[in-house]
Chains A and B, each alone.
Chain A
Amino acid sequence: MSRLAHIFKEFGRNIYRFPFTALGSLLSLGLLFLLFDLYWIGSVTFEKTYVHLLSDLEMEVFIAEEVVEAQIPDVQAAVAGIEGVSSIRYISKLDAREIMHASLGVDLLAGYDTLNPLPRSFIVDFETPYLASDQMVEIAAQMKGMPMVTEVYYNEEWLKKTEGTRSIILRVGMALGILILVTAVISTVNSIRLTTRMRSEGLAQMRLLGAGRLFLAAPLVIEGFVIGALSAAIGWGVLMYGAGKVTFTQFDLVFPHLREIALFCGAAGFLGLISGYFGVRKLLK
């Protein structure tokens, strides 16, 4: 038997001889990753909704009464020239009246055609990177500073609250990620350490016969890799199966791309590999 074949045989033997140790770590890691996957799907779904909602965010820029119609193109050009503005639409007094009519269902200005008090305005849309509180405050200040602009309005409170929620989700995700990472490492290290303890007599004998550290550690490190990758795959498998059985009416669940899932499983395997190394390190000193 070649050395490589021996290493893989040893890996199989470890699983065969201590199936419950391997199964225990597989299930506990699988549950941990399932929790993380759930959070991941939740945050991706939220992110998609967040981007969709943000794309609807507009800014209304009201024009001073004394500005004559001939000056409107200059004001429009000045507003459109501000960094981050993606499109601009002019709302005349007549347009404003129609919008109000459409939203209230009654034309309150009927009979007062020449006395329309509604202000003229621009509806401004922004490029995605500028749809953030601090950027919007800056842009609004810039617009307010223009001599022909009287008022600037956008849904500032909503934007701040949505950003706050997003930030909380990100922080929770980070904390959860770190917690799961640490727990996964500890769980795998303990599992591998348990296996090495149970095999310590045999490993000591093999060392006395001249077996190197890498040769002895490889099967256990491979075990860590397989347990890590497999438990991550199990987590996703369970979720995908579950998602196929449930439908949501308010929103669609967004799953990460298959490539990202494969990368995640690979990373989980790598985590298991590192944990496996830490599990055997002490014994092989």
Chain B
Amino acid sequence: MTDRVIVELSNIDLSYRRSGEIFRNLSLTVRAGETAIIKGGPGSGKTSLAELIVGRKFVDGGAVEVFDDVLRPGRTRAINRVRRHIGGIGGIFGLVPSYTVAENICFPLVLAGVGKRYQKERLLKMLTEFSLLKKASDYPRTLTRIEHTLVQLARASIADQPLLLIDEPMAGLDSSTAARVFEYLVKASLSGRGMILLMSEYPQGTLPNSTSYVISEGALT
């Protein structure tokens, strides 16, 4: 773990016209290599938090700074740059329906503009690591829920994005896949990547370098 701050939410306020106030004076700091586990029930604002971090929504007050870029409306380039540094799994993140599994996994590398050879090498590694070799040319509509999650994990890992943003990683998974995902989280945590885990239930076991928070009534405790 280094001292470099990769995500900083400073005294943020957010409210929606329909559902009212979501966050009030909420602050969160995540450093490189650190894992922030944010627990909260349905409607507590976990997905809104993810949306703020990827610049899909913007705060009413306070500031959101990710990888030294302040996310504000209109700062499209900065937002895209930040998004390319984030490996997203679950929640707002899904797969591109018109892409095969291989194309979905490779997409962050295409955006990064890396060479074809390196892309192939990394893809093969990811397909092998996540047992997706046989599914490489399949489309998302033919995949099971578990396979969907595995493809997202592979996509979030292929470019070694320095931040993983994971929304309900265990939801809908059987116990053995959940255990596999947890194992992946441990590995990712140890690899020095920052992680933000948004979940309603925390599984058994502990993650290294992690800090747990509870999100409730618009604030983190």
Please give the residue numbers on chain A whose beta carbons come within 8 Å of chain B beta carbons, in ascending order. 1-3, 6, 13, 17, 199, 201-202, 205-213, 215
Least Cβ distance of A209 to chain B in Å? 6
Contact mask B95-110 → A, CB, 8 Å, 1/0?
A: 1111100000011101
User: For the side of the interface on B, what is the size category?
Assistant: 20 to 34
Question: CB within 8 A of A208: which of B77, B81, B88?
Answer: B88
Asked, given contacts A1-B106, A1-B119, A2-B116, whether A209 binds B111 with beta carbons under 8 Å apart, the answer is yes
Least Cβ distance of B210 to chain A in Å? 25
Number of inter-chain CB pairs below 8 Å:
57
Q: Is the interface of A mostly helix, strand, loop or mixed?
A: helix
* B109 closest partner in A (C-beta): A1
Question: A1 CA to B106 CA in the complex, in Å?
Answer: 9
Closest 9 CB pairs of A and B: A210-B84, A210-B83, A202-B96, A210-B80, A205-B96, A6-B110, A202-B98, A212-B80, A202-B97
Question: CB within 8 A of A209: which of B76, B77, B107, B119?
Answer: B107
Contacts of B108 in A (CB 8 A): 209-210
* B51 closest partner in A (C-beta): A208
* A9 closest partner in B (C-beta): B103
Asked, given contacts A2-B116, A3-B110, whether A209 binds B95 with beta carbons under 8 Å apart, the answer is no
Question: A208 CA to B94 CA in the complex, in Å?
Answer: 9
Interface residues of B in 10-61 (CB under 8 A from A): 54, 56
B203 contacts chain A at the CB level, 8 A cutoff: no
Question: A213 CA to B108 CA in the complex, in Å?
Answer: 15
Asked, given contacts A2-B116, A3-B113, whether A206 binds B107 with beta carbons under 8 Å apart, the answer is yes
Name 18 extra pairs, CB < 8 A, besides A208-B93, A210-B83: A1-B106, A1-B116, A3-B113, A17-B98, A199-B98, A201-B94, A202-B96, A202-B99, A205-B95, A206-B96, A207-B83, A208-B56, A208-B92, A209-B88, A209-B108, A210-B80, A211-B111, A212-B76
- Are A13 and B98 closer than 8 Å at their CB atoms? yes
Question: A206 CA to B113 CA in the complex, in Å?
Answer: 15
Contacts of B155 in A (CB 8 A): 209
Question: CB within 8 A of B113: which of A2, A201, A202, A209?
Answer: A2
- Are A209 and B84 closer than 8 Å at their CB atoms? yes
- Among the interface residues A3, A201, A209, which one has the most CB atoms of the partner chain B within 10 A? A209
Contacts of A2 in B (CB 8 A): 110, 113, 116
Least Cβ distance of A208 to chain B in Å? 6
Contacts of A17 in B (CB 8 A): 98
Asked, given contacts A1-B106, A1-B110, whether A211 binds B116 with beta carbons under 8 Å apart, the answer is no
Question: A208 CA to B116 CA in the complex, in Å?
Answer: 23
Contact mask B178-212 → A, CB, 8 Å, 1/0?
A: 00000000000000000000000000000000000
- Among the interface residues A1, A210, A211, A215, which one has the most CB atoms of the partner chain B within 10 A? A210
* B88 closest partner in A (C-beta): A208
Least Cβ distance of B120 to chain A in Å? 10
Least Cβ distance of A256 to chain B in Å? 41
- Are B116 and A205 closer than 8 Å at their CB atoms? no
- Among the interface residues B81, B93, B97, B110, which one has the most CB atoms of the partner chain A within 10 A? B110
Question: A2 CA to B95 CA in the complex, in Å?
Answer: 20
Question: A212 CA to B82 CA in the complex, in Å?
Answer: 12
Contacts of B77 in A (CB 8 A): 212
- Are A210 and B98 closer than 8 Å at their CB atoms? no
Asked, given contacts A1-B106, A2-B116, A3-B110, whether A205 binds B76 with beta carbons under 8 Å apart, the answer is no
* A201 closest partner in B (C-beta): B97
Contacts of B93 in A (CB 8 A): 205, 208
